[in-house]
Amino acid sequence: MTNRILIKDLHQHIGEEVEIAGWVDVRRDHGKLIFIDLRDASGKVQMVALPSNEEAHKIAGNLRPEWVIRVDGIVNARPEKMIKANQLNGELEIEIKEIEILSEAKELPFDKDTELNLDTYLDYLPLTLRTKRSSDIFKVQATILEAYRESLRKQGFTEFQSPALVGGDAEGGSAVFSVDYYYDKKAFLATSPQFYKQIMVGAFERPFTIAKVFRAEKSATTRHISEITQMDFEMGFIKNHLEPMAILEQAVKDSVEAVASNHPNIFKEFNTEKPLLPKHFPILTLLEAQEILEKEFGIKAIGELDMEPEHERQICEWAKKNKDSDFVFITHFPTDKRAFYTYADPTNPKLSLSFDLLFRGLEINSGSQRIHNYDELVEKIKSRGMDPKKFSYYLQIFKYGMPPHGGSSTGLERFTARMLELSNIKEATSFPRDMNRIDNLLSK
Amino acid sequence: MTNRILIKDLHQHIGEEVEIAGWVDVRRDHGKLIFIDLRDASGKVQMVALPSNEEAHKIAGNLRPEWVIRVDGIVNARPEKMIKANQLNGELEIEIKEIEILSEAKELPFDKDTELNLDTYLDYLPLTLRTKRSSDIFKVQATILEAYRESLRKQGFTEFQSPALVGGDAEGGSAVFSVDYYYDKKAFLATSPQFYKQIMVGAFERPFTIAKVFRAEKSATTRHISEITQMDFEMGFIKNHLEPMAILEQAVKDSVEAVASNHPNIFKEFNTEKPLLPKHFPILTLLEAQEILEKEFGIKAIGELDMEPEHERQICEWAKKNKDSDFVFITHFPTDKRAFYTYADPTNPKLSLSFDLLFRGLEINSGSQRIHNYDELVEKIKSRGMDPKKFSYYLQIFKYGMPPHGGSSTGLERFTARMLELSNIKEATSFPRDMNRIDNLLSK
């Protein structure tokens, strides 16, 4: 349809005859006039079928929601008093000349304006993804993803493809899905691109990857999904964890700015505001955060090895109030509680040069400096009760010379969910998988 | 290392003292002078340790390949007769002031300049990915990927995340991997993002995705891998298959141009040339291609339902010679031989509005217009002996109004391999998986 005009561009064609196409959003019969709101991916417009155009009027009278049509019509300016300000195409209306039906639709399972519970929303995703709210969420997600990548490229990073199929559950920790591979062998789904991005430091120094990772955790919270899109980077030749933190901070800021500039009304539409970005994100050690929790909120958390979700929310509240920031870094988690490759703080080896980034109450990123010395890493693997032989492929990078390095990992769905203050991460996941659902409920 | 200079930028610092860091590529002892070639991800430079600097000279004498070091040194211009033209840093040399060893390396398992067989190369990927050849291949791949995405964005497409975990092997056809999901249920790895990109037409009209797909084919050819990166798009409101073909042609051309401009010497280094891009890619129906095969190559292929790999090579040879093109589209494959959702040519329903794109002898892309009518699609599913109930989630998009649409799917690894004329697709895959290997050989 080479002459088709997108609905968002109609205001440039007032007085002209145009071809548009889309889905019937709603039909309203007002006496002899039939009004049709037509929707394409760029927006909506009101059209009117006049009784004088008998053929078009007859077709218009049969249209139902979600029928797909192509329309020839005149773009008429509305009279002054009919103009709807602050609404796309509020100043114009299409007078229908001709309608071609491209596709009919069966009766919808529910009224489109009904507020659906999450399970119904997910059961009907092929239909509900067409709502403005859903398509807005995923347009914002596309913007975040591209801005994040663009920021990393500008900071000297190169993208690579990290595999989803791996040979073993090497890292331990997260629950892992197993796959029936060839010849009765088992393979596994990656829980992280960690080892591969460390390997790629040898090729690019600064690799990044957008990787699918898989967690077989039996969690049915608003924060967990089984298939996650991770935005991971790693960088060689660092002095300490502050260098990847600075890269991350820039990428996060660039992503927020891109959402704000590409989607001007989005924060208002989602009843939130543009996230607060201070000149520098506040940085607290875990102990400092716990001291604030005690002093400001009366919570006895000092000495705990990680932060409770509720405490993450409170420390974010504190940062927003005291540091004008919707983001806060927590560093120096206990070395024993982080992944085996985490680099210990030389001044206090019980704590590690690790960090989490919290955003509006939720951890969206985790990172650290990594151990780069071969013998030290082998010892660490043994001390965790694991077998270095199972890591022989990965350990090659250290055996053959690895610079000091570190990196971080951001969950795209969590980042998106907090950007728009969505209450459930599944709303920020185009096709969420969890213990109960892959497209359809598994119990069905 | 905030003051570190990348090796590619040293020419801007002649006469200055600089900090550089990287891997020892090679050490050469020439009498009392010790020469070290230092490599970072941006390039190489020759350094010299003079006996007059006793400490640095002593350290330099102990360095071995792949040790990681940080160096303070003076950037000296070379005397005229020592200049190596057409070589990065051929006009300069670093006089070492101070060396800090960041990481030692064990003895390498083979000499770095040895030409390795593919299995040894893959066994030692964490080391062999550091070679210039490998890092060049994956830098080119990153360029292709970003140029392809950028071209689609410019053409009105929006990115989304297609899932890797799916509930069934709905499409039939390719061999599928099964996954142990929760509660003894089975899930599967996606063989294509096809259904999901069709669903996303409802949200974006023009969705695209960079998706991992998985094929459990028992093929050990130079063209097959088990985990593939697919660059897929789909578009609504098309007239026919020529529209997605035009989008694809532009994205492919933009990718080729990006490689040529971002990597000026790359085609020469890989003993090939920039792919020939005519004003319009030649388009042949399968029958026309078979007639050419008969006329030009004496091959009796007319009436065959698909093209043999050897015939794909020959038709590409013909297109290069006669159409000045390294690309050629083949269209109108038999409807019965394509996926069930492929749209039949209204003028001859035995043939479909489908296409493959061949590049230098290999199919790198496949696409078509799709069926958009619900009843027709249900009938087609039945006629292939499949159960429409198993497709109920997917079928919602057609039940509730779907425009005419089509799209295509490009294999990133195949595209990269043909761009640089690599003989095996595994060389264009950072971490290739096949029936014999996930990182390590499975028989080990």
pLDDT tens digit sequence for A42-53: 999 999 999 999
Provide the edge-to-edge strand list for the sheet that holds A437-438: A433-434, A437-438, A440-441
pLDDT of the residue at A1 = 63
CA distance from start to end of chain A: 41
- Please judge whether B159 and A146 are an interchain contact, meaning their C-beta atoms are less than 8 angstroms apart: yes
Kindly state the tokens that stand for B207: 């969705």
- Sequence-separated (6 or more) residues with CB below 8 Å from residue B189: A164, A165, A179, B164, B165, B166, B176, B177, B178, B179, B213, B214
- Please judge whether A214 and B164 are an interchain contact, meaning their C-beta atoms are less than 8 angstroms apart: yes
- Using an 8 Å CB-CB cutoff, list chain B residues near A396: 124, 126-127
Q: Inform me whether the C-beta atom of residue B233 falls under 8 Å from chain A C-beta atoms.
A: no
- Please judge whether A165 and B203 are an interchain contact, meaning their C-beta atoms are less than 8 angstroms apart: no
Topology at the third CATH level for domain B125-441:
BirA Bifunctional Protein; domain 2 (3.30.930)
Q: What b/e string do you get for B203-238 counting C-beta neighbours within 10 Å, with b at 16 or more?
A: bbbbbbbbbbbbbbbeeeeeebbbbbbbbbbbbbbb
Nearest chain A residue to B431 by CA: give it.
A163
Decide if A4 is catalytic. Answer: no
Q: Report the DSSP beta bridge partners of residue B348.
A: B345
pLDDT of the residue at B156 = 96
More reliable by pLDDT, B96 or A1: B96
- Sequence-separated (6 or more) residues with CB below 8 Å from residue B124: A396, B109, B110, B116
Say which of B66, B103, B237 has its CB closest to residue A4: B237
Residue B49 has pLDDT above 80, yes or no: yes
Report whether A283 contacts A245 (CB < 8 A). Answer: yes
- Sequence-separated (6 or more) residues with CB below 8 Å from residue B57: B34, B49, B50, B51
Kindly state the tokens that stand for B342: 């492929």
Percent of the residues in chain B that have a pLDDT greater than 70, as a whole number: 98
CB contacts under 8 A, A 331-370 vs B, are: none
- Please judge whether A431 and B397 are an interchain contact, meaning their C-beta atoms are less than 8 angstroms apart: no
CB contacts under 8 A, A 406-435 vs B, are: 412, 429-431, 433, 435
Q: Which of A125, A131, A165 should be substituted to probe chain B, the one whose Cβ sees the most B Cβ atoms within 10 Å?
A: A165
Kindly state the tokens that stand for B400: 């509730």
Decide if B366 is catalytic. Answer: yes
Residue B408 is which amino acid? S
Q: Between helices B286-297 and B309-323, what is the axis angle to 10°?
A: 80
Q: Inform me whether the C-beta atom of residue A176 falls under 8 Å from chain B C-beta atoms.
A: no
Say which of B135, B189, B372 has its CB closest to residue A179: B189
Please state the rounded mean pLDDT for residues A215-226: 85
CA distance from start to end of chain B: 41
Q: Inform me whether the C-beta atom of residue A3 falls under 8 Å from chain B C-beta atoms.
A: no
- ipTM score of the complex? 0.96
3-state secondary structure labels for all residues of chain B: CCCECCHHHHHHHCCCEEEEEEEEEEEEEECCEEEEEEEECCEEEEEEECCCCHHHHHHHHHCCCCCEEEEEEEEEECCHHHCCCCCCCCCEEEEEEEEEEEECECCCCCCCCCCCCHHHHHHCHHHHCCCHHHHHHHHHHHHHHHHHHHHHHHCCCEECCCCCEECCCCCCCCCCCEEECHHHCEEEECCCCHHHHHHHHHHHCCEEEEEEEECCCCCCCCCCCCEEEEEEEEEECCCCCHHHHHHHHHHHHHHHHHHHHHCCCHHHHCCCCCCCCCCCCCEEEHHHHHHHHHHHHCCCCCCCCCCCHHHHHHHHHHHHHHHCCCEEEEECCEHHHCCCCECEECCEEEEECEEEEEECCEEEEEEEEECCCHHHHHHHHHHCCCCHHHHHHHHHHHHCCCCCEEEEEEEHHHHHHHHCCCCCHHHHCCCCEECCEECEECCC
Report whether A240 contacts A369 (CB < 8 A). Answer: yes
pLDDT of the residue at A168 = 82
- Please judge whether B158 and A145 are an interchain contact, meaning their C-beta atoms are less than 8 angstroms apart: no
Q: Report the DSSP beta bridge partners of residue B73.
A: B18, B96
**Pairing state of beta strands A158-159 and B158-159?**
unpaired
Decide if A104 is catalytic. Answer: no
Q: How far is A443 from chain B (nearest CA, A)?
A: 10
- Please judge whether A439 and B126 are an interchain contact, meaning their C-beta atoms are less than 8 angstroms apart: no
Please state the rounded mean pLDDT for residues B60-71: 97
pLDDT tens digit sequence for B277-332: 999 999 999 999 999 999 999 999 898 888 999 999 999 999 999 999 999 999 99
Q: How far is A308 from chain B (nearest CA, A)?
A: 26
CA A57 to chain centre: 44
CA A442 to chain centre: 24
Q: Which of B112, B128, B149, B161 should be substituted to probe chain A, the one whose Cβ sees the most A Cβ atoms within 10 Å?
A: B161
Does residue B413 have a known ligand-binding role? yes
Smallest CA-to-CA distance from B158 within A137, A10, A421, A122 is with A137
pLDDT of the residue at A252 = 98
Nearest chain A residue to B436 by CA: give it.
A182
Residue B173 has pLDDT above 60, yes or no: no
pLDDT of the residue at B112 = 81
CA B60 to chain centre: 39
pLDDT tens digit sequence for A255-307: 999 999 999 999 999 999 999 999 999 999 999 999 999 999 999 989 888 89
Please state, in angstroms and rounded to a whole number, the distance separating the CA atoms of residues B348 and B331.
13
pLDDT of the residue at A172 = 60
Percent of the residues in chain B that have a pLDDT greater than 90, as a whole number: 89
pLDDT of the residue at B174 = 62
Say which of B178, B393, B398 has its CB closest to residue A439: B393
More reliable by pLDDT, B222 or A403: A403
On the 0-12 / 13-18 / 19+ scale of CB atoms within 10 A, B194 is buried
Q: Report the DSSP beta bridge partners of residue A351.
A: A334
Report whether B66 contacts A401 (CB < 8 A). Answer: yes
Kindly state the tokens that stand for A114: 């009904």
Positive or negative, the CA dihedral A70, A73, A75, A77 is negative
Decide if A338 is catalytic. Answer: no
Please state the rounded mean pLDDT for residues A380-392: 94
pLDDT of the residue at B171 = 62
Please state the rounded mean pLDDT for residues B345-368: 97
- Please judge whether A199 and B125 are an interchain contact, meaning their C-beta atoms are less than 8 angstroms apart: yes
Q: Which residue has the tokens 């663009």?
A: A150
pLDDT of the residue at B442 = 85
pLDDT of the residue at B85 = 85
Say which of B103, B141, B167 has its CB closest to residue A439: B167
Q: Which of B124-138, B213-227, B400-414 shows the lowest per-residue confidence on average (mean pLDDT)? A: B213-227
pLDDT tens digit sequence for A24-34: 999 999 989 99
CB contacts under 8 A, B 200-229 vs A, are: 200, 202-206, 210, 212, 214, 216, 218, 226-227, 229
Residue B256 has pLDDT above 70, yes or no: yes
Say which of B106, B142, B398 has its CB closest to residue A399: B106
- Using an 8 Å CB-CB cutoff, list chain A residues near B24: 401
Report whether B267 contacts B273 (CB < 8 A). Answer: yes
pLDDT of the residue at B122 = 95
- Using an 8 Å CB-CB cutoff, list chain B residues near A177: 165, 179-181, 187
DSSP A141-206: HHHHHHHHHHHHHHTT-EE----SEES--TT-SS---EEE-GGG-EEEE-S-SHHHHHHHHHHHSS
Domain boundaries along the sequence of chain B: 7-103, 125-441
pLDDT of the residue at A171 = 62
pLDDT tens digit sequence for B419-438: 999 999 999 999 999 999 99
Q: Inform me whether the C-beta atom of residue A183 falls under 8 Å from chain B C-beta atoms.
A: yes
pLDDT tens digit sequence for A90-107: 999 999 999 999 999 999
Instruction: Return the CATH superfamily for domain A7-103.
Output: Nucleic acid-binding proteins (2.40.50.140)
Please state, in angstroms and rounded to a whole number, the distance separating the CA atoms of residues B48 and B330.
58
- Using an 8 Å CB-CB cutoff, list chain A residues near B199: 125-126, 129
Q: Which residue has the tokens 């410019």?
A: B154
pLDDT tens digit sequence for A149-174: 999 999 999 999 999 999 987 666 56
Query: What integer best gives the mean pLDDT of chain A?
Result: 95
pLDDT of the residue at B103 = 97
Decide if A115 is catalytic. Answer: no
Kindly state the tokens that stand for B219: 């093929």
Report whether B414 contacts B358 (CB < 8 A). Answer: no
* φ, ψ dihedrals at B335, nearest 5°: -55, -40
Confidence of residue B113 (pLDDT cuts 50, 70, 90): confident
pLDDT tens digit sequence for A304-337: 888 999 999 999 999 999 999 999 999 999 999 9
Choosing from B13, B133, B223, B313, which is the catalytic residue?
A: B223
pLDDT of the residue at A219 = 77
